[in-house]
Amino acid sequence: MFPVTLARFLALATLLALITVSSVHSAPTGNVTADAFEGLSHEAREILARATPAASHWVAYSDKFLSSAGPPAPSTIKDNARVWASLPESQRSGIKSQYSAAGIKLMVSAFGSSNLPTSGGVDPVATANTMAAWVKKYGLDGIDVDYEDFDAMRAGNGKAEQWLISFTKQLREQLPAGQYIITHAPVAAWFSPKIWGGGGYLKVHSTVGSSIDWFYNQGDSEYTTCEGLLTASSSRWPNSSLFQISASGVPINKLVIGKAATKASAGTGYIPPEILAVCVSQAKGKGWNGGVSYPDAASSWIKTVRGSAFPV
């Protein structure tokens, strides 16, 4: 266990913000033109700000907005939390109020694939305190827990789950419900019952799910058809499709479909946007309203995926 410093947290924070439209408002009034998020085109912002049905969440990551096909420049990745913190307070609050007027929440995303807090012996409570203080200090709406300590989860000894539970409890303690959003972005496979010795994310959900505003159901190397994504995952990760996770007790509208928008970043989990639109429409027809997160989408991708089910 080593002390968690602010500098360390900044290193852990892979993204400045995911931007969600929580869409309680029927129409945005603001014109979101802040330019702290380069690459997020005016059109993309407008789409994000457009009215959506209540309780669906359309999530985008500021460090991966693409205005054209192709990977983002490495220099644009991982630095947004730093950039945000380095802005003068007046600029931050100006940007924040424009997003807020448009119904868009700004959150920091923590951890990511290069940070393994459980394996690394990092103290969950101290980390939660540091991160919560950072969220408050820099005026964000909340935090997305993008925990990717696969080794710890695979170990099957419950340490990963316990780490997440302690961390989430403490975060919620510091960032009260109703004022701050706490989300988690687990891979869908972690919801498979009976696979994870410590219970996986079903354990995390049954213990601290009520403290979490919503989860992201991220497709990994499977979930590449509507059936696999929605109703019947593979035998490798059984019962981890959207409606199967819901059948295991996670409220359906907490499940946001996380999908990479480009083949390059998806690896083998890619679903072309036209097909994903069909899946989204099918899911809506079955009562799901959770939303989609798109780590690297351009506005045309977002429009296509929302399709006629959630038109923009």
238 is a contact residue toward ligand NAG (CB under 6 A): yes
Site string for ligand NAG, 175-204 (x = CB under 6 A): ------------------xx----------
137 is a contact residue toward ligand NAG (CB under 6 A): no
CA distances to 24, 115, 156, 220 from 60, in Å: 18, 21, 32, 18
239 is a contact residue toward ligand NAG (CB under 6 A): yes
Report which of 114, 161, 163, 164 is spatially closest to residue 13, judged by C-alpha positions: 114
113 is a contact residue toward ligand NAG (CB under 6 A): no
What CA–CA distance (Å, rounded) separates 216 from 160?
Answer: 18
Applying CB under 6 A, among 6, 24, 42, 91 the residue interacting with ligand NAG is 42
What CA–CA distance (Å, rounded) separates 284 from 282?
Answer: 5
CA distances to 168, 198, 216, 249 from 245, in Å: 20, 17, 11, 7
Nearer to ligand NAG, 39 or 193 (CB): 193
What CA–CA distance (Å, rounded) separates 231 from 224?
Answer: 12
Site string for ligand NAG, 143-182 (x = CB under 6 A): ----------------------------------------
How many residues at the interface with ligand NAG, by CB under 6 A?
8
30 is a contact residue toward ligand NAG (CB under 6 A): no
What CA–CA distance (Å, rounded) separates 95 from 235?
Answer: 46
What CA–CA distance (Å, rounded) separates 63 from 17?
Answer: 8
236 is a contact residue toward ligand NAG (CB under 6 A): no
CB 104 within 8 A of CB 48: yes
Q: Least CB distance from residue 5 to ligand NAG, whole Å?
A: 39
Nearer to ligand NAG, 236 or 263 (CB): 236
* Binding residues for ligand NAG (CB under 6 A): 31, 33, 42, 193-194, 238-239, 247
